[in-house]
Amino acid sequence: MANTNYPSASSQTTGSSSGAPNGNNTGRNVLIGLLVAALLGTWGYILWSKNAPGGSGATQPSNTEVATAMSESDSLRQMFNLAEMRLDSITGANNSLQGEKTALQKEIDDRKSEITRILNDKKATTSDLQRARHLIGELNGQIGRLEAQVSQLKGENMELTAKNTHLTAEKDILSQNLDTRSKENDELANTVDVGSTLSASGMSITPLKEKRNGKEKQTNFARKVDMLRVAFNVENRITTSGPADLYVVVTDPKGTVVQNTQLSSGSMTTRQDGDRNFTAKVPVEYEQGTRKGVAFPIRNPDGFLHGDYKIEVYHNGFKIGEGIRNLRKGIFG
């Protein structure tokens, strides 16, 4: 995961694994506090012994005093170690402090380097040790400011997390609303689509024979039929005015769909009957809210057989009308 400017969920502490409960940090802070109190007591004792009458070095300390009193250098080292523990506790809880060095972090590093140099110098003078003590005090002050920064970052991180949770919830609600509206729009569009389908009524199928003079004569004998004139009315109150394509399927007595390239025969996909071949595509210029008559001829290059001819009309993928016409068998076939 990339480093961020906000505290991580886990904290790294000395002597504990990543992600340890907050109770471990509390216990460690108590321990640090006790050690600091002990060191302060030690420093008080050292200062008292130096300032007490005859304690300026004129007389040698007893063996007990030598055994119990911590040297000033060791005491400073312990104070420095405690400061580093405190610092590690802070930086372990904040990824950004481990990666990118801030200005305050650089100042702290400079203090640590100088303190370490003095404490590692076996020839350090009293003045040097006083300098180290002063630097440790400044270091603790810087660590305090760093703790305040981490605390602020944690608060900002919690606030951002809460806002992110809120925004995520709002996004989920908006997505649900969008899905609902999309479904409603689809249903509405489908309703309008179905509702705009034309309906056919009053279908008639007339078998005709064409004479040489161009006139037409109705006949019921299959061998004399040159064409079938199909007529019906279409209407719809929703459909807007404009062109509409009707598809006519003519099925002969053998169950074969009549095909004629002059009638633009082809195939179509219906909503209820799947893919079907059609005999003719009939364009219609429809006027909204009116009943319009439609009539067209059906010619069969292979001639007409005796038996039933079934006529089906489709619009918008729906069958809107059908009719059957029987052609008789003549005396001579």
Other CB atoms within a 10 A radius of the CB of residue 152 amount to: 10
Instruction: Give the model's confidence band at 196: pLDDT under 50 very low, under 70 low, under 90 confident, else very high.
Output: confident
Q: What is the spatial distance between Cα 248 and Cα 294, in angstroms, rounded to a whole number?
A: 12
- The 10s digit of each residue's pLDDT in 107-148 is 888 888 888 888 888 888 888 888 888 888 888 888 888 778
Look up residue 200 and give its amino acid. Answer: A
Instruction: Give the model's confidence band at 52: pLDDT under 50 very low, under 70 low, under 90 confident, else very high.
Output: low
- Asked if residue 235 and residue 135 are part of one domain, the reply reads no
Q: Is the pLDDT assigned to residue 203 strictly greater than 90?
A: yes
pLDDT at position 126:
85
Q: Is the pLDDT assigned to residue 323 strictly greater than 60?
A: yes
- Asked if residue 26 and residue 163 are part of one domain, the reply reads yes
Residue 185 in tokens: 């729009």
Q: What is the spatial distance between Cα 170 and Cα 167, in angstroms, rounded to a whole number?
A: 5
Q: Is the pLDDT assigned to residue 305 strictly greater than 90?
A: yes
- Asked if residue 155 and residue 262 are part of one domain, the reply reads no
- Asked if residue 203 and residue 160 are part of one domain, the reply reads no
Report yes or no: 319 and 276 within 8 Å, Cβ to Cβ.
no
Instruction: Give the model's confidence band at 167: pLDDT under 50 very low, under 70 low, under 90 confident, else very high.
Output: confident
In a domain, 192, yes or no: no
In a domain, 7, yes or no: no
**How many independent structural domains does the chain possess?**
2
Q: Is the pLDDT assigned to residue 58 strictly greater than 50?
A: no
- Asked if residue 216 and residue 112 are part of one domain, the reply reads no
In a domain, 10, yes or no: no
- Asked if residue 67 and residue 150 are part of one domain, the reply reads yes
pLDDT at position 103:
73
Q: Is the pLDDT assigned to residue 156 strictly greater than 70?
A: yes
Q: What is the spatial distance between Cα 60 and Cα 272, in angstroms, rounded to a whole number?
A: 114
- Asked if residue 289 and residue 165 are part of one domain, the reply reads no
pLDDT at position 9:
35
pLDDT at position 267:
94
Report yes or no: 217 and 208 within 8 Å, Cβ to Cβ.
yes
Q: Which of 1-10, 61-70, 180-189, 276-285 has the lowest mean pLDDT?
A: 1-10
- Asked if residue 97 and residue 26 are part of one domain, the reply reads yes
**Dihedral angle computed from the Cα positions of residues 141, 147, 149 and 150, in that order, rounded to the nearest 10 degrees:** 160
**Which residue range forms the structural domain that includes residue 265?**
199-327
What residues have CB less than 8 Å from 29, skipping those under 6 apart? Answer: 89
Instruction: Using CB atoms within 10 Å of the CB of residue 168, give its burial: 0 to 12 exposed, 13 to 18 middle, 19+ buried.
Output: exposed
In a domain, 288, yes or no: yes
- Asked if residue 250 and residue 146 are part of one domain, the reply reads no
Instruction: Give the model's confidence band at 63: pLDDT under 50 very low, under 70 low, under 90 confident, else very high.
Output: very low
Residue 149 in tokens: 């920064």
- Report angle CA 97, 99, 102 to the nearest 5 degrees: 50
pLDDT at position 17:
39
pLDDT at position 257:
95
Q: What is the spatial distance between Cα 10 and Cα 152, in angstroms, rounded to a whole number?
A: 17
Q: 59 versus 208: which is more confidently predicted?
A: 208
- Asked if residue 154 and residue 66 are part of one domain, the reply reads yes
> Side-chain half-sphere of 313: how many Cα atoms within 13 Å?
29
Average pLDDT, the chain: 77
pLDDT at position 181:
81
In a domain, 135, yes or no: yes
- The 10s digit of each residue's pLDDT in 282-298 is 999 988 888 999 999 99
Residue 26 in tokens: 């509390």
The CATH number for 220's domain is 2.60.40.10
- Asked if residue 244 and residue 118 are part of one domain, the reply reads no
Radius of gyration of the chain measured on its C-alpha atoms:
50
- Asked if residue 212 and residue 162 are part of one domain, the reply reads no
Report yes or no: 208 and 219 within 8 Å, Cβ to Cβ.
yes
Instruction: Give the model's confidence band at 189: pLDDT under 50 very low, under 70 low, under 90 confident, else very high.
Output: low
Answer with the one of 154, 170, 186 that is the final residue of a domain. Answer: 170
Q: Is the pLDDT assigned to residue 325 strictly greater than 90?
A: yes
In a domain, 9, yes or no: no
